[in-house]
Amino acid sequence: MNRLKLATVWLGGCSGCHMSLLDLDEWLIDLAAHVDLVYSPIADQKTFPEDVDLTLVEGAIANDEHLELIQDVRERSRMVVALGDCAVTGNVTALRNPLGEARSILQQVYIEHGDPRGILPSTPGIVPILVDQVVPIHMIIPVDLFLAGCPPSGPRIRAVLEALLAGTPPELVGGFG
């Protein structure tokens, strides 16, 4: 049997969903017997690989790098799971949306109220360009499964992964526990 190629992606969010995944403790050893972790913020891959079976995406689309990465994720993944409320709805990451365009927010924060040098951060390749409106990932790419929660609990993530590994649709009923 071929091992499942698993990727996890961290976009605009707090990393709480990845912390919930790591909270699975010893079960991660069992999971490692069935999957190859081919991309993750907890590993050191620089580019998103080809032919990924399952990608868990945490966070919303908040900058130009997220837009590029999420396109690669969809093109190169058989199944994409929106992991957590930021990926599903935008949640906390999207709280800046009512404040207006990204440039005006940066102007207020760095020029009017912050940096005494009056300089906006803009180093190409270092500081990503913010999008004007933060959006959940399904606004950019098709998503196969939505796992809500802020963050979803480790047992809920485990239940989804176990079902997907078994080749059955996960049961996503009830609350966020």
Contacts of 128 (CB under 8 A, 6+ apart): 63, 64, 65, 66
The structure tokens listed for 70 are 């999420």
Whole-model pTM?
Answer: 0.92
The structure tokens listed for 126 are 């270092």
> Could you tell me which residues are beta bridge partners of residue 71?
none
* Mean pLDDT, range 99-125, rounded to an integer: 84
Whole-Å CA distances, 17 to 46, 70, 117: 21, 17, 36
The span from the CA of 118 to the CA of 116, in Å, is 5
> What phi, psi does 21 have (nearest 5°)?
-60, -45
Fold entry, domain 4-165: Rossmann fold (3.40.50)
The span from the CA of 71 to the CA of 85, in Å, is 20
Tens-digit pLDDT profile for residues 54-84? 999 999 999 999 999 999 999 999 999 999 9
pLDDT band at residue 177 under the 50/70/90 scheme: very low
Run of H or E including 69: helix 64-76
The span from the CA of 149 to the CA of 88, in Å, is 9
Provide the strand spans (E) within the chain. 4-10, 35-39, 52-58, 61-63, 77-83, 130-135, 145-147
Kindly give the pairing relationship between strand 4-10 and strand 61-63: unpaired
Tens-digit pLDDT profile for residues 37-53? 999 998 888 899 999 99
Q: Where are the domains of the chain?
A: 4-165
The structure tokens listed for 98 are 């009512």
